[in-house]
Structure 1
Amino acid sequence: MWVVKIGGSVSEDALFPAWLDLLVQLGGGRVTLVCGGGGFADQVRHAQARWRFDDLAAHNMAVLAMAQTAYLAQSLQPRLRLAGSQEQIRAVLHAGQTALWLPMESMRDAPSAQTSWEMSSDSLALDLARRLNAERLVVVKSCSVDPTATLAELGQRGVLDGLFAGIARDAAFPIDVVHRAELGRMRALLLGEGRAVGA
């Protein structure tokens, strides 16, 4: 089972439907899609800067932003199946379909290490992949990605969040960070033709 995280900014790109189509065509039974918050999360940042509310509220609002992008993705590609828990994800995959994570279980009632902007949807996707014992995590970005950079270097450059590399240190699966234009590379990975470029 793979987790594929598509950055929220990719959801505003013309290639977004092509990514969804690819994951439905080749990911049935083994791919769980995680969507970033994109412009919805940007509105949370704007509101927090305006009203100065705490990071716990901002975290929960950002999780809801991820859910909004997920609903957008499902409306564009109805063959994606919404799933809000590990059990629901496994049921969708067992049925041979592509799961689309609704991350409501990531909402919190009290502050924690997760309730800050240092932990983005990238790290939430990584955490989900670990809990699901995934075989691979692919993170799709709209910004340029240096294929020679380590996860720590990508974090330093702002491509990934600052906590990602530390969380990934003991991950038992390869992690690929790819550019939104690399649909061919993603297809090759799904077909077993790609080489891991991992942590």
Structure 2
Amino acid sequence: MWVVKIGGSLSRDPLLQTWLRELNELGGGRVVIVPGGGGFADQVREHQAVWRFDDLAAHNMAVLAMAQHALMMQGLCRRLVVAATEPQIRQALHAGRTAVWAPFGLLRQEADTLTSWDVTSDSLAAWLANRLNAERLMIVKSCAVDSECSVAQLAEKGVLDKRFAELTREASYPLDILNKNDWPCVRELLLNAVVS
């Protein structure tokens, strides 16, 4: 099973449909898409700046932003299955479909290690990959990604969030940090995985 996080920055990009189509057609039965919060999460940041509510509330609102983006993705590609729990994810994959994670289970009543802006949907994708014992984690970004940079360096540059390196430090899966234009490479990887 592969976890593919699609950055929220693609929420208004025509390439989003290309990614969804490819992951749906070639990733059925083995891909879980993690949506970024996109413009929905940007609204959370803007409202927090105005109203100064705490990071616990902001975390819960950002989780709902990810869920909204998941629903939008399914609206763009109806064959995708929105799945909120691990059993729902596994059921979708078992049926040969591509799942899109709506992380309602990460709503919190009390603050914990996930409830700060140091943890974005990138780290939540790593958290899910760890929970699901994923075979691969891909993080798709709109910005340029220097393949020579380490995860820590990408975090320093703001490409990844501050907790991502910690959550992937002992990961047994390959980790790919990709630009949105790298979908042909992902297509090739998926096709080769089918053959092997």
TM-score, normalized by length of structure 1? 0.95
Aligned equivalents of 2:168, 2:34: Cα separation in 1 = 17
What is the aligned partner in structure 1 of residue 90 from structure 2? 90
Write the deviation string for residues 4-60 of structure 1: whole angstroms up to 9, x where unpaired: 000001111110001000000100000000100010000000000000000000000
Aligned equivalents of 1:4, 1:143: Cα separation in 2 = 16
Aligned equivalents of 1:122, 1:106: Cα separation in 2 = 14
Q: Paired residues, what number? A: 193
AA partner of residue 162 (structure 1):
K
Aligned equivalents of 2:189, 2:158: Cα separation in 1 = 25
What is the CA distance between 1:187 and its match in structure 2?
0.6
Write the deviation string for residues 93-112 of structure 1: whole angstroms up to 9, x where unpaired: 00000011111011111011
What is the aligned partner in structure 1 of residue 150 from structure 2? 150
What is the CA distance between 1:188 and its match in structure 2?
1.3
1:17 aligns to 2:17 (yes or no): yes
AA partner of residue 10 (structure 1):
L
What is the aligned partner in structure 2 of residue 114 from structure 1? 114
What is the aligned partner in structure 2 of residue 196 from structure 1? none
What is the aligned partner in structure 1 of residue 192 from structure 2? 192
AA partner of residue 48 (structure 1):
Q
What is the aligned partner in structure 2 of residue 26 from structure 1? 26
Secondary structure of 1:140's partner? strand
1:180 aligns to 2:168 (yes or no): no
AA partner of residue 130 (structure 1):
N
AA partner of residue 117 (structure 1):
W
What is the aligned partner in structure 2 of residue 35 from structure 1? 35
What is the aligned partner in structure 2 of residue 68 from structure 1? 68
For structure 2, which runs of at least 5 residues remain unmatched after alignment? none
Aligned equivalents of 2:76, 2:95: Cα separation in 1 = 21
Secondary structure of 2:181's partner? coil
What is the CA distance between 1:192 and its match in structure 2?
2.6
What is the CA distance between 1:189 and its match in structure 2?
1.6
- Identity, % of aligned positions: 56
Hey, which bits of structure 1, 4+ residues long, moved more than 2 A?
none
Aligned equivalents of 1:35, 1:6: Cα separation in 2 = 5
Secondary structure of 2:11's partner? helix
What is the aligned partner in structure 1 of residue 123 from structure 2? 123
Aligned equivalents of 1:67, 1:97: Cα separation in 2 = 18
TM-score, normalized by length of structure 2? 0.97
What is the aligned partner in structure 1 of residue 170 from structure 2? 170
Alpha-carbon RMSD: 0.8
AA partner of residue 80 (structure 1):
L
Aligned equivalents of 1:192, 1:131: Cα separation in 2 = 25
